[in-house]
Every structure is written in C-alpha cells, then in structure tokens.
Amino acid sequence: MNLKHLKAILLWIIIQFLVVPFAYAEITLGSLPAADANLDLALPETPAIYALGLTPESVSRPASPRALVLDLLNGVDKSGNFQTGIALATAPYLLFAGDRLTINEYRKNEDFSWIRLAARTQLSVATTKGTDSDDKAVRAALGFRIVPYDLGDPRQNRELDSCFATIQLPQAPKQGEDLKERENKYNEGAFKTQVQQAAQVCREKHEKLYWNASAWELGAAPTWIQKEGSKDQTKWGGATFWTSYAYGFEHFSTLKETSQLVLGFRYELNNQTPDLKNAGRYVQQDTALLGAQLRLGKPNLHVSFEGSYWRIAPKGTKVQDAYRVSLAPEFKLPMLDNLWFQVSVGGTGGRGLDDRLFIMSAIRFGNGNTIDISQVADMLRNQSVTH
C-alpha cells in the first residue's frame, strides 16, 4: 500500500468520524420544535437506498447506471434517525453480457433498443441499521431501476467519439525496433497518464452540455425489516414504487444550458416506520409522494428548489397530508477534482409533532454518488497527476 492510498484511507476515516457529531446536533429554529443538522456523506442514487429513504431529495434523478458500484452508507433517514449500512448496485446486463457489447450494438435503433434498455437496468441491494434508540431496526431492500429514455447518456454522444479519437497512440514502431522494446515503452506509464487526462477533458466537455439533459426512470424496491435486529424476526417491510422524469429544456435556447425540472411520483406500500408517540414501536403506513425539483445553474454550481406533497395513510389512524420544501445550493469544491458540497435548507409541514425545519449538508463524490475508499484514492491520485 503506497502513501497515496494511506492518505486516502486517512481522509475517509476522518470524514466517517465527522458524520456522527454533525448528525446528532440539534438546533431550535423559530416556533418549530427542532431541526436536524446532518453531515450526510452517503447519498447514493442506487434504487435500494432511495427506497430505504436515505437520499436527501424526495425526487429521484434519472440517469444511466454504471456496471458495478459498492457504497458505504452513513446518513439520516426522512424521520431524522441515523442509519449506517452498505449497498451494492450493478447493471446486470453489462456485468454478465457486457464483454461482447460493442458501442455500435449499444447505439443500434436510435428510437428504442432492448439492449440499451437492458444495459440501463440497474439492480441493487442495500442494508441499513438504525443507531438511534427510536429506531434500531435492520432494513434491507432489493431495488430495480430502468431508464428507458436518457438524452444525457454519454454512450450515445458521438461528439465524445470525435474527442476520444483525437487522443494519439504512441508512434508506430520503426524498422529496427523490436517487440520487447515496444512492450517496455508501452508499459512505462506515461501513456496511461496522458490517455486518462485527455479522456477526462473530453468527458468534462460532454458534462457541460448534458448535465441537465432530459431522462425518465422507473423503479421498484421490496424491503424487509428486523425490528429488534435479530435474525428470527425478519418481516416483510413493504415496497416502494416510483417514477421520475427530468426535463432539460432542450428546445429553449436560454434554459437548455442552465435548467432542469424533475417531476417525480413515489408510492410506499405497507412501509414500517418508527412510531413517534411510542419509542421502539413501529407503525405500518402507505405513503404517496408527488414532488418537483427545479435545478438552476451550471455544471459545477447549481441550486435546487424542491417541493413535495405527501399523503400518509397509517394503518388504523387518520390520513395526513404533508408537504416538504427545500432549497439546496450544490457546488464542486474548487481544489478537488470531483468532490461536491451540498447544503439543503427546508422544512416539513402538516405532520403535527413531526414538523421540522432542517439543515442538511452533504459531501458527494462525482455525480451524486457516495464516497468510498477507492474513489477517494482515485481523487488523490488524479490530484497528484494534475499538480
């Protein structure tokens, strides 16, 4: 293990320790009882985590998935309870049949392709454990997400082809050169660095154009719960179904580079949630959510306005109509290549004792993904290459 990996692990450990004090801090704001201040490091856009309620946004942002991602989680759920856990997300088609999937096959049939649909289908498993006295349950979810439509899919962008094609291979071998020399020259490492940097420049150009592109996703996630955390008490924890549509204003020249509107609907069926009036107990409820999120800005700096309406139907008691609004500036930290900071300020209403103002802060790696050791290591490695 080299020095860069040690630095990466150290940074990751420090960040993990910072989570707890921030997550438990409470401040009083206005006439409402309390607000949570959370440093929420783990905000994966994996379907299973979205179903478990560990994402800060009520509305899921559609995007094409990656082949295999492992996320470590530390965060606060929508009830304000601290959760830790792990999630594994994969695009099964890419994982099991991707070795023979060429880019030309992926792009066949512009309008609709079963192969593209399969490659954009994500399966994820996640498990979380509550650490508060109000909620010590272990939860697990199995999430499916399909993205039938994504104008921001980088694999379909032919401008990226042209940009990648300009990256030069090392000079062709000359007469007199032998194969062994050729191999040594190729493995020196300088070419690898050059290719990685040049390819990254191409991808960043693409992101500037398509960060807010239109896309549509559908998702479903069954969940299971162990209320006391022992194996013999595993029970069905309900299921979550959702759909989100992001509109990138592609037909409006003044908005297409600066704005995105995301509309989302989510239905949680037979969800088990902590009973606020009886610590350690759970109530079963159905929840319907209709939300909208408007993102304004540039790729590296944008503000999200989110509003959502919740219809909560606990078993045996009256239906509640609630709402949640938030404002969340999000920006890329200037000295670090791929680290994002987000502060979300908002409030919930219509839920009586559970009404609250909240301030949530988040550190994100990449495009809405969580931080893990390999990513921090990559970030530091890229830093050392750049500087």
Partner 1 sequence: MQDKPAQLSLSGPNAFVNVTIGQAQFGKFRLILWDETGRNPQVLTEQTNVDNIPDFVDLGSPSDVNRKILQWEGFVTSYGNGPGQNYSIIIEVKQAGQVVPDGYIPDPGALDGGAKPFFGAVRLFAV
Q: Which residues bind partner 1 (CB under 8 A)?
A: 64, 66-69, 89, 94-95, 98-106, 119, 154-155, 157-158, 160-161, 164-165, 167, 169-170, 172-180, 182-183, 186-187, 191-192, 195-196, 199-200, 203, 207, 338, 365-367, 369, 374-375, 378, 381-382
Minimum Å gap between C-beta 162 and partner 1 is 9
Least Å distance between CB 176 and partner 1? 8
Q: How far is the CB of 173 from partner 1 (least distance, A)?
A: 4
Angle between helices 373-386 and 3-24 (to 10 degrees): 120
Indicate the residue among 77 and 372 with the shorter CB distance to partner 1.
Answer: 372
> Rounded to an integer, what distance in angstroms lies between the CA atom of residue 108 and that of residue 101?
11
Residue type, 62: P
Query: Do 229 and 144 touch, CB atoms closer than 8 A?
Result: no
The C-alpha atoms of residue 99 and residue 216 are separated, in whole angstroms, by: 26
Nearer Cβ to partner 1, position 181 or 321? 181
Shortest gap between Cβ of 378 and partner 1 (angstroms)?
A: 6
Query: Cβ 332 to partner 1, closest distance in Å?
Result: 12
Backbone angles phi, psi at 132, to 5 degrees: -80, 160
Is the Cβ of residue 69 or residue 262 nearer to partner 1 in the bound state?
69
Cβ proximity to partner 1, 154 vs 350, nearer residue = 154
Residue 170: what are its φ and ψ, rounded to 5°? Answer: -55, 155
Contact 68, 165 (CB under 8 A): no
Report the distance separating Cα 202 and Cα 235, nearest Å.
48
Q: Which is nearer to partner 1, 99 or 232 (CB)?
A: 99
| Cα–Cα dist 136/57, whole Å | 23
The tokens of 299 are what? 């790729």
Smallest distance from the beta carbon of 77 to partner 1, in angstroms? 24
For partner 1, which is the closer residue by CB, 47 or 274?
A: 47
